[in-house]
Structure 1
Amino acid sequence: MIRRLAAAVLVLCLAQSATAQQAKPAAPDPAATAFKAWDRNADGQLSLVEFRAGWQQAQTASKIQATLRRQFATLDANHDNAIDAAEYGNLLLIKQAGKAAPPLARFDGDGDGKLDFTEYAKLVETLAPHEAGKGAKK
């Protein structure tokens, strides 16, 4: 009787564990993702050339991220870690677009009426001019 009860509990625990694992997809491994992106010839190894190219891309992305963070902090006049409607109107990209400027709501993914840093970065990526052939932000 105890063995059956223990077996039933074990089966129930295994079923719950399997259900929980199916419900939560595994988080992507950033190192594996970077390795795959840098491994241009997909041979499962990084040559020095592939590593250098990937490293340079990472350094460029880091510099862009730092610049965007500084811009965001400057634009966030009330220091609430968000760009609200009044601050949105002061964005150079929005001023340059004039009447064709998209509304703040287009980039407000969570619908809170303001842009957090991630939403701001998407706005810049969408609206900023790109260098021909490079795809980098100016």
Structure 2
Amino acid sequence: MLVLTSIGAIVVFFAVLTFVGDVGSKGGPFAWRISRHRVFTRGLRGTAVVIGVRRAALYQRKALLESPADVVTLATAAVPHGIETSQKLPAGQYVVGQTVEVVQHLRDRYRLFVDRPDLEPSPLVVYGPLAAGAMAPVILLRAATRLSLTP
């Protein structure tokens, strides 16, 4: 039982270490999600013109059965040649020439999103992994202190 617990402790240690490294890095999925969430909460709001609409490729969708989506290219005053958003927007809702509300990153004019809060995850989904990562060592410590070493 003690061997199994120590193996579990090692696994949880490396999982937490990976998670903390992900939070601290710029390229991890958690860091990307929280950064995107911050753009929506603190970003510059304005308007842009749709200059291109194309179907999202199959690899950009999560599953074969997922509903079709469009990728939209938007032109702003700062970037008139256009920026392709990283959002998957529902198909058929945007046409070339349409003016849309957008949110732009404060320091990076090339990070632009269509201002559609209904398509963004809730704060619970964004910050949930952080809470889970913080709880993992506490749960492991509680489990380790409750173990009985006598048969």
Specify the TM-score bucket, using the shorter chain as the normaliser: under 0.3
TM-score of the aligned structures, taking structure 1 as reference length: 0.27
Which is bigger in relative contact order (C-alpha 8 A, separation at least 6)? 2
Higher helix proportion = 1
Determine which structure has the larger strand proportion and give its number: 2
Which structure has the bigger radius of gyration?
1
Q: With structure 2 as the length reference, what TM-score do the two structures score?
A: 0.26
